[in-house]
A and B are shown apart, each in its own frame.
Chain A
Amino acid sequence: MTRILLALFLLAPLPARALTPDEVKRVVQTVDERQRNAGDWRSLCYMEAKEKDKTDVVYELTVFRRSADQKFMILFDKPRSEQGKGYLRIEKNLWFYDPAVGRWERRTERERIGGTDTRRGDLDESRLAEEYDAKWEGDARLGAYQVHRLLLTVKPGVDVAFPQIRLWVDEATHNVLKRQELALSGKLMRTSLYPRWKKLHSESKKGDVWFPEEMRFYDEIEKANQTLILIKSVDLRPLDPNLFTKAWLEAKSR
């Protein structure tokens, strides 16, 4: 009997060991580091948003990034009616340009990109360690994956779309598989899933850069609303030095 009990005790899964604050920090830094590019970035994306009782919104757009000074720009390519519209982030300013009216407008980090459930941060470089403080919540399974579950809280004075984030990080690869964004009150606002990750070699980084090939965002307030992003191609070659300017984006529409 004692032997059986001992065998059962030995076979039973060990309770998960809590990650120390340093380990949690390292996990988040690794998540950022794997996606960090240390150079220029250009990706072609497909974006599709579904909202209750509305016609689906579909875009093809190009995302430009420059790691050196955290520049970021989105240019809408399709459909024709949206062509030439763009977002440009310079320092803390997120600008929106509409060539139909020839105007720039100041927007906030909470801006829903193209009216979908996407935020600027979803397409930008991951800066979680810089923007948030992380805490280990537990280890769990997500489908076939063993994951760390972390809770991130925004650092004071940082402007982000969501003040709290819960992450499910794949223990094996340190890729984020699932993400929940929460309001300050703790209310769940959005759930994101990242089922497919890809990597490619970056000359500027002298290493690999990982990116989610597919992102699915589910609105937790309006349950019927969801957005899908597919990153169709990524180009890491240097971009035009004057690319991240209003003049450049305006010139695209002339």
Chain B
Amino acid sequence: MSLLFAGRRQAAAHRAAIPSGRLRWLHRSLVGWGFAGPATALVVGLSIFPAVWAFLISLQKWNGIAPAKPIGLLNYELMVQDPDLLAAVRHTLVFTVLFVPSSIFLGMLIAVALNRPIKLVGFYRTCIFIPFVASAAATGILASFVFNPQYGAANTVLRTIGLPQQQFLESQSQALAVICLIALWGQVGFTVVVYLAALQDIPKDVVEAARMDGANRWQVFRHVTLPALGPVTVFTSIWQTITALQLFDLVFTTTRGGPLGATQTIVYYVYLQAFKLTKFGYGSAVAYGLFAATLLITVGMIVYSRRSKIEAF
């Protein structure tokens, strides 16, 4: 009897605890979302929601004003056969292949040099990093001045050392390579900082131990430093690939896609299709294609780095 009673009292106490527990839970959730809610709502509202909407738009023929016409996957079918888009993809890939390895190689080289205890290192660091702070728009305008065929400094330098003048951004065959040089000028500072940080993380005693064992500088670099930089290299490759695939500002402020479409990139093409020709549906389809490709490349790099035992993520 007393046992039963005790049991009942416990149950009653438990029941009494439920509302207050629920209230506490509700209160905690309100406080939590009070903190996280505004930013989460903004991020989701400005990315997941539009991303889903972009997919719906990509299934339509729509100019933003007239009623949208659902056309299924037609935009994607058109995409595969569009010679201008194909050219834009080719230009973007050429740029990526030129830009990513050179920015990694140059960044690593400069970082190794800046990691030595030498004079003027602060001055060198500042010089190499400052272009990264300048916007791509300002960089593009500056570059179109420096590489101007008539009065640009680049041709003045070529003249002085007795080399033939170049057309640079006005030449169909050179424009993309010149844009790549400009992009390197503006972006290498980033890779340098990332590698510099990684180099300073390498324990000094490991390097010293290797030196004690009779390794020369090159062997230390090859067998100690380089493997330690593996994860950072995966990170910079992915980061710079994404940057390269999204090239737009520099093209807009140097060549506007010219001469004769030679520097038209995928994002520039999306901009033209969507906002100049108001083909919202087709523009969205191309943007989705770019997204899918970026995702594929990123995942591919991560899987590859895992396989080769480089733990970057």
| A and B associate | no
